[in-house]
């Protein structure tokens, strides 16, 4: 009897494992979207399209969304760079949808597609400045609820129309959306740009002690330029590419990789950081938090502008380190003061204060606006420790 029961259990287990792919989805029957652009729709575009919303009266104050999706054509996307006469028009298909919010626009887009919209391979979401100014609540809410969207994708701000960035024809990549994502990934890996995937934006969106920030992309013909960082508080503010270096230092982004020109009395040198570290010290003075930021930088000399600069002398290396320290401290403080003036803590100092001074935080910060008001006034000191670890290869 025991042997019979054992055999029945074994057979039942085998039946479960041999049940087949009951929930399979054929890849050819999916409308795979790899890039999305979000713009404000014009009244003419809304009236021309048949949106799913019951109220399409464009005379009211409701802003309609124009969603542009870049879809991968099955079998047309090659691995690696372009070859032959291939073009983005053959590998991707662009479809537009309109609605009162993102979900509504996705449904409008779905009406133009034979297969289900699939966002599991989405690489990048581009936002126009007009959408950014209107607010990101609808966008954040929709994409957070989609379980098929990876949290490692990029969300970036365009200089003008977001859809224009999905129509570029880059020479090194067949698919524009993948080229945009690859450009940001590579800049992060080289240490020249902070790692800011969409989950970091969402974290800052719900945190009281950190302000949201986005990569800022600029179209340059058939190419793009990473034009820095963008954040908003009443108006859109920008961090230019040069000051992104110091943002990375203040936030302790790894690895190093950014380069800067260091001015000396007899010329200048180009120094590239290959390692950075940061330490925060938070104290309460006169009832106000005081933050001390100590940043350690190690780097190598890549180039010098004059033969008069003798890199084999210890005093020359010390001069470079002191000049780099002074310049970095000045520029970092300028960047911090700009964000304090705009009441936008893009560095996350508030979260550091919350961790070090929980009693103060619980008493004084009940909502994000409280920290914005405090952040504008708190003293923040920045100290750099710069060390030159190499001068490159030289021929004698």
pLDDT tens readout for residues 275-309: 999 999 999 999 999 999 999 999 999 999 998 99
Bridge partner list, 237 = 231
Interval 202-208 mean pLDDT:
93
Handedness of CA 95, 98, 103, 104 (dihedral sign): negative
Ranges 88-97, 131-140, 329-338, 350-359: which has the least confidence = 88-97
| Buried-state track 239-249, b at ≥16 Cβ within 10 A, e below 16 | bebebbbbbbb
> 295 vs 87, which has greater pLDDT?
295
Answer yes or no: are the C-beta atoms of 357 and 349 closer than 8 Å.
no
pLDDT on residue 59 = 46
Asked if residues 158 and 217 have their Cβ atoms less than 8 Å apart, the reply is yes
Summarize pLDDT for 6-52 with one digit per residue, the tens: 877 777 776 666 655 655 566 666 788 999 999 999 888 887 775 44
The mean pLDDT value of the chain amounts to: 87
Judge whether 374 and 289 are in contact, CB under 8 Å: yes
Residue 84, pLDDT above cutoff 70? no
Q: Buried b / exposed e across 168-205, counting CB within 10 Å, b at 16+?
A: bebeebbbbbbbbbbbbbebbeebbbbbbbbebbbebe
CB-hemisphere CA count at 13 Å for 47?
Answer: 6
To the nearest whole percent, how much of the chain has pLDDT over 90? Answer: 63
Question: What is this structure's pTM?
Answer: 0.86
Q: Residue 394 has what pLDDT?
A: 67
Domains of the chain with CATH codes: 27-238 (no CATH), 251-390 (3.30.300.210)
What is the maximum span of the chain, computed from C-alpha positions, in angstroms? 96
Structure-token match 């040069």, residue found: 242
| Cα 375 to Cα 349: distance, rounded to the nearest angstrom | 8
Q: Tell me the per-residue pLDDT of 164-179, one tens digit each, with 9 for 90 and over.
A: 999 888 877 878 899 9
What pLDDT is attached to residue 24? 57
Please give the residue that has the higher pLDDT: either 18 or 246: 246
pLDDT at position 9 is 78
Residue 109 · residue 117 · CB < 8 Å: yes
394 or 113, which is more confident: 113
pLDDT number for residue 79: 54
Residues 6+ apart with CB under 8 A from 127: 38, 136, 139, 155, 156, 157, 158, 162, 214
User: What pLDDT is recorded for position 83?
Assistant: 56
- pLDDT above 70: percentage of residues in the chain: 88
């Amino acid at each position: 009897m025991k042997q019979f029961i054992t055999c029945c259990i074994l057979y039942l287990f085998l039946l479960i494992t041999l049940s087949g792919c009951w929930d399979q989805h054929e890849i050819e029957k999916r409308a795979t979207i790899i890039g999305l652009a979000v713009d404000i729709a014009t009244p003419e575009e809304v009236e021309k399209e048949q949106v799913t919303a019951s109220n399409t009266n464009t005379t009211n104050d409701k802003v309609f969304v124009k969603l542009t999706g870049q879809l991968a054509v099955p079998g047309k996307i090659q691995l690696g760079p372009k070859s032959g006469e291939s073009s983005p028009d053959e590998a991707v298909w662009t479809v537009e949808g309109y609605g009162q919010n993102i979900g509504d626009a996705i449904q409008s887009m779905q009406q133009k597609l034979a297969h289900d919209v699939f966002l599991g391979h989405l690489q990048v979401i581009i936002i126009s400045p007009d959408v950014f100014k209107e607010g990101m609540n609808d966008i954040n809410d929709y994409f957070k609820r989609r379980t098929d969207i990876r949290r490692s994708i990029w969300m970036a701000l365009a200089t003008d129309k977001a859809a224009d960035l999905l129509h570029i024809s880059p020479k090194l990549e067949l698919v524009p959306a993948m080229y945009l994502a690859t450009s940001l990934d590579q800049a992060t890996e080289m240490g020249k740009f902070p790692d800011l995937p969409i989950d970091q934006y969402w974290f800052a969106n719900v945190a009281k002690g950190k302000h949201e920030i986005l990569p800022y992309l600029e179209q340059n013909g058939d190419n793009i330029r990473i034009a820095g960082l963008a954040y908003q508080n009443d108006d859109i503010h920008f961090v230019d590419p040069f000051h992104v270096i110091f943002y990375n230092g203040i936030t302790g982004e790894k690895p190093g990789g950014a380069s800067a020109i260091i001015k000396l009395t007899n010329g200048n040198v180009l120094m590239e950081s290959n390692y950075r570290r940061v330490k925060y010290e938070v104290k309460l003075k006169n009832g106000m938090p005081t933050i001390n930021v100590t940043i350690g930088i190690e780097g190598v000399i890549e180039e010098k502008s004059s033969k008069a600069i003798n890199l084999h002398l210890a005093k020359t290396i010390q001069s470079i380190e002191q000049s780099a320290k002074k310049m970095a401290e000045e520029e970092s403080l300028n960047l911090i003061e700009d964000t304090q003036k705009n009441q936008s803590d893009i560095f996350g100092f508030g979260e550091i204060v919350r961790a070090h001074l929980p009693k103060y935080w619980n008493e004084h910060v009940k909502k994000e606006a409280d920290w914005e008001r405090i952040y504008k006034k708190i003293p923040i000191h920045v100290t750099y420790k710069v060390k030159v670890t190499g001068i490159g290869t030289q021929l004698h």
